[in-house]
Each structure stands twice: as C-alpha cells, then as structure tokens.
Structure 1
Amino acid sequence: MIAVHAKYRGREKRRADVVERSARALEALPGVGEFEILGVEDIRTQVADAEAALTLVMALLSDGGWAIGLGIADVTEDISDGDAATQAATNAVGTRPGQVRVAVETPGASTDAADIAAAFALLAHVLHKRTYEGREATSLVRRGMNQNEAAAALGISKQAMSQRLQAAGWPAEQAGWQLALHLITRAEAAR
C-alpha cells in the first residue's frame, strides 16, 4: 500500500480554500483516491500503485508549495488509527515546501526510503529551475503530444520546441521519473 500526505506551505492567504481546491483537482489523477482534508493545511490519500504515487508527488512538486510525505507499507499490518502506509506518510511529511520525505515500513528498507527521497530531490530541483515556457512545453509533451504537435500548439518551430525542452531539463525529468518509479516499485514489492 502507498499513501501520500501533503502539507501546504505556500504563500496564499486563503490556505483552506487552496488546500480544498488542490485536493479536488488532484483526485482526478489516475489511481489517486479521495483526499482526506486534515485541518487547514494537510491532505492525504492512498494511491493505487507506484505510478499513481509518482504522478501525484510530481504534481505537488510542480506547484512548489507543498511539503510531501510518501509512505509505503504492508497492507496487512494493523494499526488502530489507519493503515500503515497512511500513518507512515503522515509521520514522514516535513515542513519545507518542495521537500519529499519517505517512510518505507518494510524490513531492511532503510536505504529504499533514502534513495526515493534523493530521486525526488533531484526532480524537485529540475522542476524548480523551469521557466514558464519550459513548463508550457513539458506539459504538452507529458500529455502525449510529440514535439511537432506541441510546437504547432505553441506556434513555434520544432527546433524551438526542442530547445525549450532541453532548457527545461526534460531529459533529466524523464530519467528521474524512471528512477523514482523503479525505486518505489521495488520498495513496494519488498513488502
């Protein structure tokens, strides 16, 4: 089982409204369950699999205003106030925006949590350095458009699109995505 707990640390004044709107929007992602809203700043949910967890964490990192806890645990473990993954995610969440802390509740998994957190730190760095044009270009390609289609949608040449993707760190994001997916899948399978 995998769960995500996010704490809003952005600068918006109407925090409760931002948290509520964000939770409802993020629930639309594939494999993401209904969010539980905890107070003014916190949301948490369970996800279907490693890819859904990665998609959700990347969406939260892209926003830049969330501290994120990722919990991975055995579904059969019994805790009175919720399942182990949800509790692990809640215990893991930090306070710094853009930070992903990970708790893997399986025997011998101490390095798994550190490796997953390191992969997310690298991805957060790439996302943080991205310009508006870079976010625009990567968003189109992430949705399944090829470079020609994305260039046409933006009204730029294929060469300009390629340059935007390079400047935005798209190859690094793709490599980081694969690494994080592999690490989360491995940690979940170890349980």
Structure 2
Amino acid sequence: MFVLTVDQQRSTSRGDAVPDLIGHLEPLVRRLPGVRLPLERTVGDEVQMVLTDPRSTLMIVLEILRVGGWWIGLGIGAVNDPLPEHSREASGPAFVRARAAVERAKTKAASVPLAVVGGGGAVERTADVEALLRLLGAIVERRTPHGWEVTDLLRPADVRTDGGGEPPLTQREIARILGISEQAVSQRVRTTLWAEEVAAWPLATRLLQEADTWDQA
C-alpha cells in the first residue's frame, strides 16, 4: 500500500493552497486505478491519500511536484483494515512511514522536496525508489510553460489533468494546435526530456511495486 502525506510550504505567506491542489488533481485522481482513499485535508495545510497501484502513485507524485510548493512524504507498507472513510482516521505502518517521510523531506538538502520511507526487507529498494523519483521530479520541476504546452498534448489520456480523453497527438497535430512549426515542437520535446521521463515510468512503477511486495514478505 502507498500512503502520501503532503504538506504545504510557506503556508503563512502563500495562504491556504489545499483546495487548489485537490481541485487540480481531482480529474487525474478520478481517472487513475487503485485509489483507496482520495486526496483530502487531514489537518491544517496537510493532505493525504491512500493508493494500491504503483503507477497511479507515481503519476500523483509527479503532478504534485509539477504544481510545486509542497513537501511530499511517501510511506510504503501495510495499513490497518478495514480502512475508514477518511485517511485521517486510518492507521498502520504505511501511515507512520509517510509521516516520517514528509518530515524528512523538509530537512533534505536536495532540491526536490520528496522522501520515501519503507520497511521490512524493502529498505534498500525504498532508497532506489526515492532516488529515481527525485530524478524524475527534477525533470518535472524544471520544465517550462512552453515545454508543458507540448508534453501535456503528448501525455496518455489516463494521466491528463485537463479532463480530456483524446489519445496522445502527433507532433504535426501539436504544431497545428499551437501554431508553431514541427521543428519547434521537436525542439521542445527534446528540451523537456519528455522521452527520457516516460521511458523511466515503467522502472519507477516496478520499483514501487517491489518495495511494497518486499515489505509484506
């Protein structure tokens, strides 16, 4: 199981950003499988969700990093059944680890505000997960608005946040939509490292699944 505990950065100066984050992620959460408890406020400016699907977990993490302004803690492991209606009422090792992870994310010197905590036989695998997620996060955080114009149109339909259901478009179609040349689209794709990011999704998904499986062993 995967528990995300996400805490807002600089809440006193930014104001309450929880409703905006939940609203932004809602179309994506609605599309993704394996969401046991949806994203909701737990206390103050903190939100939490519970998932069973590793790819869905990856997509949510990357989208929160894209939004920016949040510390992300990912806890991997068991949760106590039955799950209650709200995550703030739930318990289990994964919740404890998510809390430890978000606190560690606040203190890490690295630029990507993300930490992952697992347990059991999954400690080494969890470190691999964290390293790869932080690398993907660095790509996402550095993508420019012009880069997102293109990559949003290249994204698979199930991980789009705009509610659209169209399949990924060709670069020619994207050029027509954006009113730029195909060469400009190709340049943006290369600059955004989109192909490299997508190529790493299966590895990240597999590592997440293995960390969860090994924790249960």
1:164 pairs with 164, 183, 188, which one? 188
Question: CA–CA distance in 2 between the matches of 1:172 and 1:11?
Answer: 33
2:70 pairs with 66, 81, 84, which one? 66
Could you tell which deviates more after superposition, 161-170 or 124-133? 124-133
2:57 paired with 1:43: no
Residue aligning to 2:19: 20
Structure 1 residues 160 and 145, CA gap change in structure 2 (3 angstroms): same
Q: With structure 1 as the length reference, what TM-score do the two structures score?
A: 0.86
Shift of 1:11: 6.9
2:126 pairs with 113, 116, 119, which one? 113
Shift of 1:87: 2.5
2:106 pairs with 80, 90, 95, which one? 95
Question: CA–CA distance in 2 between the matches of 1:145 and 1:77?
Answer: 42
Aligned residues: 188
Shift of 1:141: 0.5
Residue aligning to 1:136: 149
Secondary structure of the residue aligned to 2:180 is coil
Work out whether residues 7 and 95 of structure 1, in 8 Å CA contact, stay in contact via their aligned partners in 2.
no
Unpaired runs of 5+ residues, structure 1, are none
Structure 1 residues 138 and 126, CA gap change in structure 2 (3 angstroms): same
Work out whether residues 62 and 127 of structure 1, in 8 Å CA contact, stay in contact via their aligned partners in 2.
yes
Structure 1 residues 179 and 15, CA gap change in structure 2 (3 angstroms): farther
Amino acid at match of 2:98: A
Of Structure 1 and Structure 2, the greater helix share is in 2
Structure 1 residues 60 and 72, CA gap change in structure 2 (3 angstroms): same
Question: CA–CA distance in 1 between the matches of 2:44 and 2:169?
Answer: 37
Residue aligning to 2:5: 5
Residue aligning to 2:86: none
Secondary structure of the residue aligned to 2:38 is coil
1:170-189 to 2 correspondences below 5 Å? 170-189=194-213
Shift of 1:76: 5.8
Deviation per residue, 1:107-150 (Å, 9 max, x gap): 22111111111011111221222221111111111142232222
Amino acid at match of 1:65: G
Work out whether residues 122 and 212 of structure 2, in 8 Å CA contact, stay in contact via their aligned partners in 1.
no
